[in-house]
Chain A
Amino acid sequence: DTAVSQTPKYLVTQMGNDKSIKCEQNLGHDTMYWYKQDSKKFLKIMFSYNNKELIINETVPNRFSPKSPDKAHLNLHINSLELGDSAVYFCASSQDSNNQPQHFGDGTRLSIL
């Protein structure tokens, strides 16, 4: 059973489109995250939710909107996609928000044409 699963694995789309990435964890964790990994391989936190409540919101354009319908799901919607949004997006979860080890999905590779 996959612990943290995100879909789709690959997303190729044109500039200006709106797209969503879904994430689900079956570990019973309270906290979920979205990270962006750019071409230089830096993994940067974007958002974090604890029990459906937003607790971290980094300096991310408001074209990015996370949604957590329940604590097992954290989706990411992106409006008006730009070339600079091309990256790999990782979802992760942890037992709680107190700096616990994180479990990552295998990423969604987003390519903007």
Chain B
Amino acid sequence: SQKIEQNSEALNIQEGKTATLTCNYTNYSPAYLQWYRQDPGRGPVFLLLIRENEKEKRKERLKVTFDTTLKQSLFHITASQPADSATYLCALEDTGGFKTIFGAGTRLFVKA
């Protein structure tokens, strides 16, 4: 089945810089890939969905890329703010497309 790898080490950046988070997957390329944000004690919140025929998707300060050759998605937050501090989860369809599987997430800390 599909396996997702996200950097387990926390990412610390300065306010105003661009945060870049990585999601790698191991098997077949999914038809879509999603990114979620999770705050402590809360459920994940959907942010963006990108399809296999889309190279890039933007929403306000967020940008997601999807490289099916590298089997990788990059998630960028430009002009980062302390309020962006959270855990960011990558999710994609499992083999067979019947369910969505989630990565363990990368914790982002933005310092003022």
Contact = CB atoms under 8 A, between A and B. Distances in A.
Nearest to B43: A104
B99 A56 contact: yes
Contacts of B101: 45
A101 to B, nearest CB: 4
A42 B89 CA distance: 10
A107 B43 contact: yes
A4 interface: yes
Contacts of B34: 101
Contacts of A106: 41-43
A42 B4 CA distance: 11
Given A43-B89, A101-B46, 19 more contacts: A41-B104, A42-B102, A43-B44, A43-B102, A44-B102, A45-B100, A56-B99, A90-B44, A92-B43, A99-B32, A99-B93, A99-B100, A101-B49, A102-B100, A103-B46, A106-B41, A106-B42, A107-B42, A107-B43
